[in-house]
Amino acid sequence: MLKTTLKPTSRYIPSGEIELHALDWGGDGPPLITVHGGRRTANSWNAVARRLHHRFRVISVDIRGHGNSGATDFGNDSIGRMKDLLAITEYLNITEHYLMVHSLGTLPGARYAAQHTERVKGFFMIEPIPEGFKHWVRVGTFDEDGTPTGQKRHNGWASLAELEERLRRNKQTRNWTEEVLQDVLLHETELLEDGTVKVKWDPSVYNIEEMKVDHFALIEDAESITCPTLLMVIEKNPLIESHFNDIALKLPNASYVIANGLGHAVYMEAPELIADYAEEFFLYGRLPN
């Protein structure tokens, strides 16, 4: 585990009717904004930020309905969250920055990079979700005709110990580093008065009516993302042939990496690797040896 006493500063930023929360790691380097995926928070990037703060001013965003950001029934689609990203950069007076996104964070991140090219100096997509509604069909939220399947998502636990045991055993989370796991347990949970634990995401983020009409498609925005772009997917990603090979070809200024031996939450399993890629790619325009 990386030993450091550095702690980020919480920033609260108005966006429409809510306040968004972001962790600002400070420093004199160029701004680097990170966006997490579904049911995670800004704190999931802590291990990466600790390794990059000496070269960048890392600002990790809690997307709407997650972490300490406000929640609303609407505005959780790719367009709404893109507007939130713009609100954050404008409020913090950041005119140029790097952008690093994971999974569901790709939807607003890619829209932002395509529509605000003058702001984004470099873009790093890690295990992106390549489309909106069709993704939710693929993972079982909807049938092909848009009928909800009734899929449930669990964000309450009897105790912190029970949650920790679950995270250590689950195939999606058991390979997180110990540093990342402790950040999640400490910062991504809320202890309730009855002793139970809630993970910090609000059920409003799964608004079925809004999800059904979010027809984002990364390949349609790809040609407009003109900044240097690093696309990283894992070797076991089932969409490499059907989606990502074509997306990589459409991106005007892309580097394409297929990572071996890692799971979907790459930056939580290998924060040092992601920090190395971010530093080398953003600052020097190259990939690590």
CATH number at residue 106: 3.40.50.1820
Quote the pLDDT of residue 1.
64
CA-based nearest residue to 58, from 46, 67, 76: 46
222: containing domain:
9-153+204-284
User: Is 233 within the bounds of a domain?
Assistant: yes
Count up the domains in the chain and report the number: 1
CA-based nearest residue to 244, from 134, 137, 161, 127: 127
SS3 124: strand
User: Is 208 within the bounds of a domain?
Assistant: yes
User: Is 194 within the bounds of a domain?
Assistant: no
User: Is 2 within the bounds of a domain?
Assistant: no
Q: Are 84 and 15 in contact (CB under 8 A)?
A: yes
pLDDT in tens, the chain (289 residues): 666 778 999 999 999 999 999 999 999 999 999 999 999 999 999 999 999 999 999 999 999 999 999 999 999 999 999 999 999 999 999 999 999 999 999 999 999 999 999 999 999 999 999 999 999 999 999 999 989 999 988 899 999 999 999 999 999 999 999 999 999 999 999 999 999 999 999 999 999 999 999 999 999 999 999 999 999 999 999 999 999 999 999 999 999 999 999 999 999 999 999 999 999 999 999 999 8
User: Is 84 within the bounds of a domain?
Assistant: yes
Name 226's Cβ contacts closer than 8 Å, sequence gap at least 6. Answer: 117, 252, 253
Quote the pLDDT of residue 6.
87
Q: Max Cα separation, the chain?
A: 53
User: Is 254 within the bounds of a domain?
Assistant: yes
User: Is 183 within the bounds of a domain?
Assistant: no
Quote the pLDDT of residue 4.
72
